[in-house]
């Protein structure tokens, strides 16, 4: 692996906005950005726009989150959390070691170098107002990359120049890592610069859909400051925590007040709206035949189109059914339809059958997970008529789903197409930032800042998310909590986990809350086998270890040390930069 100063891209595949970001793939052949001279480039605003297009390839998407290195092991993936039944994951069971190289580290710095090139060239450009938007995009994406590094490693070197391999005299070439606070403040400063010069979503022309907006930068600032505010709060740094949490409330509230976004909940889809949002395409991909223009929830999305730009990864086959097993922790997160957890709700039907625990639950449970005996479609065995007729059912992938006994017994259907589309050609957009997250960020930041949250504040944020597909579920309120002896922080975190699962948040949430040391050493569990229908259906599991409640133990002996809250710097980077100090404990 090359050192960060040699992470120069030798080809930049930039695309015109009307094509790349709205779907098309026509490539523009440019000189390598690290080799562009002022004489041959950076002479027009269009040059800056084309260079900025490269930054959009840095966004999170399916290939990065689910298929990273073929291991489904992106640092932010739920595979590293307690929500999936992936045995032997060294990051979730605390047994990872110091690597020699780390592509996440080197890629982020390679991206930062490319961004710094545009910013450096902008300083001497003769008409700065004509490139202000592209400079703002550069500030956004530099913040985006540094936040990625912060979540993984904490304090890291702050590089603000497009360093060249020959620039050995540069003071930044072998810079020590900046403090965590310095990195956070640098990210905030970049986002403030971006916000000042980005347009509102409503001001974007149709040819620019997918570009960064003011709302996207404000939403991302809310994400960053909530993350750091709670990181500091649960490590005893109250004053610093309150500073960041105040920013998180203000940033998220700005997005809400802008009225630029709304949750996707068309009446035609009823309580299935959220399910179909994640697989929304311009081809018929849902019973109401709605297209992407109906979705105003995605604040920033990695955009795809079947005819011109597809993710080129096998999303449905990777995420459907027994391929992507979930843990008992995830299943137990879902409330009952009365707004109470299974441990207190009189509506909970127990575990006696293979389907009883799915009854009277949050609708997201049946739309995210798969229930034994129910029909399910996929891109291989798709909906024909979208009306669940006999013809439609006969073409289902599972006419009566039967979970296998080789995994946890809990199975996923989120992200899985139901239309006639070849493998690798699903074209639903990936939500880099969506409005539901902003609403949840606001609720959590308000509560953590003040130690309380009013019902009015819950009703403009968390309850909108909760009742999007659960219109009859009681709203979360202080009265409900008091009547049933519930804890507000627990319920806010539950809502976040359920809403954002498999979107790359849970692992980082456990770290910022400082609960990974409690959650991740727990035995990884599957369904309750003993004394249930599973015991008679799966007698071959009689030798499987069980917990005291008769649940399958999928993995035990899990650990988590304080050092695991941050990843170790790869040894090669330590050798290349003697001033880089390894994270504590590694």
- Which domains does the chain possess? 4-262+568-576 (1.25.40.390)
In angstroms, rounded to a whole number, what is the distance separating the alpha carbons of residues 240 and 260? 31
Q: Residue 14's pLDDT is what?
A: 33
Overall pTM surpassing 0.85 (yes/no): yes
Given pLDDT bands bounded at 50, 70 and 90, which one contains residue 229?
A: very high
Taking residues 313-321, what's their average pLDDT? 92
Q: Residue 67's pLDDT is what?
A: 74
Token look-up 């530099």 returns: 142
Each residue of 399-438: pLDDT tens digit?
999 999 989 999 999 999 999 999 999 999 999 999 999 9
Each residue of 337-374: pLDDT tens digit?
999 999 999 999 999 999 999 999 999 999 999 999 99
Rounded to the nearest 10 degrees, the angle between the axes of helix 435-450 and helix 214-233 is 40
In angstroms, rounded to a whole number, what is the distance separating the alpha carbons of residues 545 and 15? 54
The Cβ-side half-sphere exposure at 139, using a 13 Å CA radius, reads 26
| Strands 321-325 vs 524-528: parallel, antiparallel or unpaired | unpaired
State whether residue 81 is helix, strand or coil. Answer: coil
Taking residues 489-513, what's their average pLDDT? 97
- CB–CB of 310/424 below 8 Å? yes
- CB–CB of 506/495 below 8 Å? no
Burial code of 405-439, b = ≥16 C-beta within 10 A, e = fewer? bebbbbbbbbbbbbbbbeeebbbbbbbbbbbbbbb
Is the model's pLDDT at 520 over the cut of 90?
yes
Taking residues 82-95, what's their average pLDDT? 94
Q: Residue 164's pLDDT is what?
A: 62
Is the model's pLDDT at 7 over the cut of 70?
no
Q: Residue 69's pLDDT is what?
A: 53
Taking residues 218-241, what's their average pLDDT? 98
Each residue of 137-168: pLDDT tens digit?
999 999 999 999 999 999 999 999 887 655 44
Taking residues 83-110, what's their average pLDDT? 94
Q: Cβ of 164: how many Cβ atoms within 10 Å?
A: 15
| Strands 430-434 vs 27-29: parallel, antiparallel or unpaired | unpaired
Is the model's pLDDT at 2 over the cut of 50?
no
Taking residues 433-462, what's their average pLDDT? 98
What distances in angstroms separate CA 339 from CA 45, 48, 184, 456, one per listed residue?
Answer: 53, 51, 37, 18
Taking residues 261-287, what's their average pLDDT? 97
Each residue of 178-210: pLDDT tens digit?
999 999 999 999 999 999 999 999 999 988 999
Taking residues 263-272, what's their average pLDDT? 97
Q: Residue 29's pLDDT is what?
A: 32
Strand locations in 1-86 (E)? 13-15, 27-29
Taking residues 560-586, what's their average pLDDT? 96
In angstroms, rounded to a whole number, what is the distance separating the alpha carbons of residues 251 and 268? 32
In angstroms, rounded to a whole number, what is the distance separating the alpha carbons of residues 186 and 208? 28
What distances in angstroms separate CA 297 from CA 262, 274, 287, one per listed residue?
Answer: 5, 10, 19
Taking residues 531-538, what's their average pLDDT? 97
């Amino acid at each position: 692996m090359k050192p960060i100063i040699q992470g120069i891209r030798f080809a930049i595949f930039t695309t015109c906005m009307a094509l790349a970001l709205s779907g098309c793939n026509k490539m523009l052949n440019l000189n390598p950005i690290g080799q562009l001279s002022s004489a041959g480039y950076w002479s027009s605003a269009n040059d800056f726009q084309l260079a900025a297009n490269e930054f959009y390839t840095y966004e999170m998407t399916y290939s990065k989150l689910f298929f990273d290195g073929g291991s489904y092991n992106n640092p932010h993936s739920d595979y590293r959390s307690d929500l999936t039944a992936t045995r032997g994951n060294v990051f979730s069971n605390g047994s990872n070691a110091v690597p020699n190289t780390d592509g996440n580290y080197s890629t982020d710095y390679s991206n930062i170098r490319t961004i710094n090139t545009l910013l450096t060239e902008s300083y001497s450009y003769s008409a700065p107002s004509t490139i202000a938007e592209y400079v703002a995009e550069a500030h956004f994406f530099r913040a985006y990359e540094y936040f990625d590094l912060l979540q993984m490693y904490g304090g890291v070197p702050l590089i603000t120049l497009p360093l060249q391999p020959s620039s050995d005299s540069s003071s930044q070439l072998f810079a020590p890592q900046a403090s965590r606070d310095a990195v956070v403040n640098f990210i905030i400063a970049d986002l403030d610069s971006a916000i000042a010069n980005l347009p509102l979503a409503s001001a974007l022309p149709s040819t620019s859909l997918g570009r960064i907006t003011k709302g996207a930068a404000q939403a991302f600032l809310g994400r960053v400051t909530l993350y750091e505010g709670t990181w500091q709060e649960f490590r005893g740094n109250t004053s610093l925590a309150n500073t960041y949490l105040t920013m998180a409330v203000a940033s998220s509230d700005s997005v809400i007040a802008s009225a630029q976004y709304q949750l996707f909940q068309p009446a035609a889809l009823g309580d299935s709206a959220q399910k179909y949002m994640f697989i929304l395409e311009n081809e018929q991909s849902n019973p109401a035949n709605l297209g992407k223009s109906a979705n105003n929830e995605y604040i920033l999305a990695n955009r795809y189109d079947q005819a011109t730009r597809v993710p080129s990864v096998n999303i449905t086959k990777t995420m459907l059914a027994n391929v992507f097993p979930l843990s008992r922790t995830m299943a137990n997160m879902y409330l009952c339809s009365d707004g109470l957890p299974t441990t207190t709700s009189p509506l909970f039907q127990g575990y006696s059958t293979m389907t009883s625990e799915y009854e009277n639950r949050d609708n997201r449970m049946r739309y995210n997970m798969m229930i034994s005996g129910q029909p399910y479609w996929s891109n291989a065995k798709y909906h024909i008529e979208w009306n669940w007729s006999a013809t439609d059912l006969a073409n289902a992938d599972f006419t009566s789903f039967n979970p296998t006994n080789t995994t946890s017994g809990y199975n996923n259907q989120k992200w899985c197409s139901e239309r006639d589309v070849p493998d690798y050609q699903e074209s639903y957009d990936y939500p880099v930032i969506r409005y539901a997250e902003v609403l949840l960020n606001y609720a959590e930041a308000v509560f953590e800042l003040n130690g309380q949250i009013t019902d009015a504040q819950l009703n403009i944020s968390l309850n909108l998310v909760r009742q999007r597909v659960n219109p009859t579920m009681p709203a979360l309120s202080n009265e409900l909590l008091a009547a049933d002896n519930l804890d507000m922080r627990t319920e806010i975190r539950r809502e976040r986990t359920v809403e954002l699962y498999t979107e790359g948040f849970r692992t980082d949430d456990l770290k910022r809350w400082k609960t990974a040391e409690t959650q991740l050493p727990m035995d990884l569990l599957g369904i309750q086998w003993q004394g249930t229908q599973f015991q008679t259906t799966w007698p071959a599991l009689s030798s499987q270890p069980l917990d005291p409640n008769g649940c399958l133990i999928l993995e035990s002996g899990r650990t988590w040390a304080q050092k695991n809250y941050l990843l170790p710097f790869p040894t090669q980077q330590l050798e290349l930069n003697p001033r880089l100090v390894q994270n504590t404990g590694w």
